[in-house]
Chains A and B, each alone.
Chain A
Amino acid sequence: MVPDAEFTSYYGRPVIKEPVWQAPDVAGYLFFGGLAGASSVLAASAQLSGHRELARAAKVSALGAISLSAAALIHDLGRPARFTNMLRVFKPSSPMSVGSWLLTGYGPAAGAAAVSEVTGILPAAGTAATLGAGLIGPAIATYTAALICDTAVPSWHAGYREMPYVFAGSAAGAAGGLGLLATAPGAAEPARKLAVLGAGVELVAKRLLIRRLAATPGLASSRGLAEPYEQGRTGAMLRLAEALTAGGLAGAVLGRRSRALSALSGASLLAASVLTRFGIFEAGMASARDPKYTIVPQRHRP
């Protein structure tokens, strides 16, 4: 094997600063944001196609997930009391600013949709809120890819072309999975389709992401910027996520008539989505800590 590219550094110290974000907060935020956004998508289509039970479950799950995701986001701030400063300005150059405004529109819509569904109050407004949340949901589920990729973190930034599809797939898999878990097989058809589609997209997009990162100029003799996704505990997490996604996909296809198999497949997909987000988060952190990943690709910039 060709030895790794030679590089020098300052006492092995990292060049960039590792994100100060905490794994439970921000990886959790990525997961819950994805689950919420895609659940609202599912709620809207279930409502339109007359799957009442599924629509209800998806609306409640969207509200729960977005609440947890907002709580995680605020908890991670160095100065949580100043959370509303996010709304001082609107900056398209900052994915976090864009995301804050998306959440400001989405949160109340998802909330109104769920409250109207559960209480039966103002059904017409509830339907409008359901459709509104369904419209913003896809953006909520995917903007977080730009959020982490728009940094100097090597193993995130270099994957910006594939990350949004990984996140969209992971979110759809999780929302579909929750639908399969919460409703009887006969009433969960849209959830099943969404789960299968999401899991499929995630499996392919993650492979493409790793393929691009592994081909990093200068690091191609090793696994390049894909290394942090493949080594140690993070590697194990992501391999398990892939297995659970594949298993969940198979279960969703085969479990049309089995409540138990459907539920198991839904749980697998949810777990896979959690593991994927934590794995991607940790891989980025590891790539920030090792100066090799910053210096060598810059030295070999095409």
Chain B
Amino acid sequence: MTIDPAARAGHVDHPPRMGFFTDTSVCIGCKACKEWNAVPEDGISLSGMSYDNTVALGASTWRHVAFIEQPARPPAEGVRWLMSSDVCKHCTESACLDVCPTGALFRTEFGTVVVQDDVCNGCGYCVPACPFGVIARREEDGGAHKCTLCYDRLGAGLEPACAKACPTQSIQFGPLDELRERARLRVEDLREAGQDSARLYLDDPADGIGGGGAFFLLLDEPEVYGLPPDPVVTTRDLPGMWKHVAIAAAGLAGAAVALGLGRRR
């Protein structure tokens, strides 16, 4: 059973859920996707992490291209390059949206997750709630920011800028159902061609975030790319948390009643 997050958020007659399928097997590390998603940086600072000088997703970097240099797997020799363009996952069960106390984060009619900048008060709760380390608070304006899946462009009938800029179709945009089907075929093709390590990541609606609106084809374990191997949205445990809070609070109240019973002699 697949959850329809837009319908659950109250959107009636909404368009199909849109998403990204990032096929890292054809990523060439050109960073065009990142350029469309980065506030210009002054000066040059080198990270020492291969060609990755962006280091991580952030408030002003909504695509991040990871570069991994590994020993090639036999029978190949030399170096195996892994390049992967990371982005907000637009989770079906979205922790940032759940914990946002102002309603600044909301679910769009496309099933994506977007921050309304004019509502966000910069409380920062979304930042440690995200199991992927995507959303961040910007120093300059104090607000939380992340990929909007180009909500503005989608509204105008355009595709997101990163998908448009990608020269190899590593970043594919479309209705999520179609992308999932296409990804399944692609991973089968790759396995048949001998890429045993090809696997899909966050494509499964039964996973810990209910599946990503953006999902990936990876050629190694997720953590190699800086992704958590088995993320679970924190709010799944929230009913248990409230239960223990309620018991602890009741205990404190009970102690007060007990202390107040005996009148002073």
A: residues with CB less than 8 A from B are: 7-11, 13-21, 37-38, 41-42, 44-51, 76-80, 82-83, 85-86, 88-89, 91-97, 100, 134-135, 137-139, 141-143, 145-146, 149-153, 157, 160-165, 167-168, 171-172, 189-190, 193-194, 197, 201, 288, 291, 294-295, 298-299, 301
Q: What is the distance, in angstroms, from A191's C-beta to the closest C-beta of chain B?
A: 9
B: residues with CB less than 8 A from A are: 47, 49, 55-56, 66, 68, 95, 98-104, 119-125, 127-138, 141-144, 221, 223-231, 234-235, 237-238, 240-242, 244-245, 247-253, 255-257, 259-264
Q: Is the CB of B238 within 8 A of A299?
A: no
Could you pull out 20 A-B pairs where Cβ atoms are within 8 angstroms? A7-B223, A15-B131, A20-B127, A49-B259, A79-B143, A82-B121, A96-B123, A135-B253, A137-B252, A141-B249, A143-B245, A143-B249, A145-B245, A150-B237, A152-B231, A157-B237, A160-B237, A161-B240, A168-B252, A301-B230
Q: Which residues of B contact A18 (CB under 8 A)?
A: 128
Q: How far does the alpha carbon of A41 sit from the alpha carbon of B256 in the complex, in Å?
A: 6
Q: How far does the alpha carbon of A137 sit from the alpha carbon of B248 in the complex, in Å?
A: 12
Q: Is the CB of B228 within 8 A of A78?
A: no
Q: What is the distance, in angstroms, from A129's C-beta to the closest C-beta of chain B?
A: 16
Q: What is the distance, in angstroms, from B188's C-beta to the closest C-beta of chain A?
A: 26
Of all chain B residues, which has the CB nearest A82? Answer: B121
Q: Which residues of B contact A141 (CB under 8 A)?
A: 249, 252
Q: What is the distance, in angstroms, from B131's C-beta to the closest C-beta of chain A?
A: 4
Q: Is the CB of A44 within 8 A of B121?
A: no
Q: Which residues of B contact A47 (CB under 8 A)?
A: 260
Q: How far does the alpha carbon of A167 sit from the alpha carbon of B249 in the complex, in Å?
A: 10
Of all chain A residues, which has the CB nearest B142? Answer: A78
Q: Is the CB of B129 within 8 A of A152?
A: yes
Q: How far does the alpha carbon of A48 sit from the alpha carbon of B225 in the complex, in Å?
A: 61
Q: Which residues of B contact A172 (CB under 8 A)?
A: 252, 255
Q: Which residues of B contact A83 (CB under 8 A)?
A: 121
Q: What is the distance, in angstroms, from A7's C-beta to the closest C-beta of chain B?
A: 7
